Each structure stands twice: as structure tokens, then as C-alpha cells.
């Protein structure tokens, strides 16, 4: 297995992996192929950045990363926004290799901080244990409010109550 930056020829494989990722980890959202393709094409410019992990010439996972500047200080930080490994490859070295490449990228950019995130409720404890192996500290403080259908259900319940 090895990790590299995404190339134009990887588009179909990434679209399929993103489709799997959304279905598995964010089922309340609707996969959008055209948006996925546009996002993929943006990664070919380097920011955002997409790392892929290959096994036997087949892409089995990816890490989508962002490069950011601080709002009120100097310097840069990098953020792992999405880490996905195909279900049959979990427990292999795929995720570890992706994270290693991501950290090395942050170091080459002279980033001051490298941020790992869990943005869904799919196996968060397992993912947290994995990130604890490479992170120095845990940052808690992000909360999610879903808009749309869930808010509409709450409004309807309140109306029924009175």
C-alpha cells in the first residue's frame, strides 16, 4: 500500500468512494455526483488537497484536507476534513498511511497545527482512539445543528403542544 496525491485519472474511483462514504457515514445527506466531481477537480490545484491510498493499483481510501490561515495570528494550519477507507480495508494500514502523509504535508508547509476531525457519528470512539495515537491534545467544542427536515419536525411538535 502507498499514499500519493490524487491525479485526474482517479476521478471515477473517488466519486465511488465518496458515494460510499456519504451512504455510510452521513445518510441524512444526499450524495451529489456533480458537486463531488467539482470538489475533486479543485483538489487537483493543491488546495484543498486530496490524498489517496492504493493497494494493488486500486484506490481504497482517501483523505481530504484543507490549508488555512489563522484569523488573528500569523501562520497556517491544516485540517483533515474527511478520512474514508473502504469497509473491507479497515483494520489495514490504509488510514495510518493517509494520516502519516497528511502530517508530513503539514510539516512541509510549516503549519503550526494539524487538526484531525470526526464529523459524523459513524464509529466516533474508534476514530477518536485512532487520532489519539497521533494528536497531542483533544479539542472539544464543535456542536451540530441540522437545518431543514429536523427543524420542521420540531416546529410541528411545538405547534401540536400548544
Per-domain residue ranges for the chain?
Answer: 2-161
Segment 79-95 shows an average pLDDT of 92
Residue pair 78/106 in contact (Cβ under 8 Å)? The answer is yes
pTM of the model: 0.82
Query: In terms of Cα–Cα distance, which of 46, 53, 44 is closest to 7?
Result: 44
Q: How far apart are CA 92 and CA 85, in angstroms?
A: 9
Report helix, strand or coil for 159: helix
DSSP symbols for 46-110: TSSEEEEEEETTEEEEEEEEEEEE-SSSSSEEEEEEEEEE-GGGTTSSHHHHHHHHHHHHHHHTT
Mean pLDDT of 145-153: 66
Q: CB burial class (10 A; 0-12, 13-18, 19+) of residue 144?
A: exposed
What is the predicted pLDDT for the residue at 22? Answer: 94
Phi, psi angles (nearest 5°) of residue 84: -140, 130
Dihedral sign for Cα 64, 69, 72, 74, please: positive
Residue 140 has pLDDT above 70, yes or no: no
**Mean pLDDT along residues 100-121:** 86
Contact at 8 Å (CB) between 95 and 84? no
Give the chain's mean pLDDT.
86
Percent of the chain with pLDDT over 90: 62
Tell me if residue 13 falls in helix, strand or coil: helix
Q: Is the pLDDT of residue 124 over 90?
A: no
Peptide bond into 19 cis (omega under 30): no
Looking at the predicted structure, is the pLDDT value of residue 127 above 90? no
114/132 Cα distance (integer angstroms): 13
Model confidence band, residue 9 (pLDDT cutoffs 50, 70, 90): very high
As a CATH number, domain 2-161 is 3.40.630.30
Amino acid at each position: 500500500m502507498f499514499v500519493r496525491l490524487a491525479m485526474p485519472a482517479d476521478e471515477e474511483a473517488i466519486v465511488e468512494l465518496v458515494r460510499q462514504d456519504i451512504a455510510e457515514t452521513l445518510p441524512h445527506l444526499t450524495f451529489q455526483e456533480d458537486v463531488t466531481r467539482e470538489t475533486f477537480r479543485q483538489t487537483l490545484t493543491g488546495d484543498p488537497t486530496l490524498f489517496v491510498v492504493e493497494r494493488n493499483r486500486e484506490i481504497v481510501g482517501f483523505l481530504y484536507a484543507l490549508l488555512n490561515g489563522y484569523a488573528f495570528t500569523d501562520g497556517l494550519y491544516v485540517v483533515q476534513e474527511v478520512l474514508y477507507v473502504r469497509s473491507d480495508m479497515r483494520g489495514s494500514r490504509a488510514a495510518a498511511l493517509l494520516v502519516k502523509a497528511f502530517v508530513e504535508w503539514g510539516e512541509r508547509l510549516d503549519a503550526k497545527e494539524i487538526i484531525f476531525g470526526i464529523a459524523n457519528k459513524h464509529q466516533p470512539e474508534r476514530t477518536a482512539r485512532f487520532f489519539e495515537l497521533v494528536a497531542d491534545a483533544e479539542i472539544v467544542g464543535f456542536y451540530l445543528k441540522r437545518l431543514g427536515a429536523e427543524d420542521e419536525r420540531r416546529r410541528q411538535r411545538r405547534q401540536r403542544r400548544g
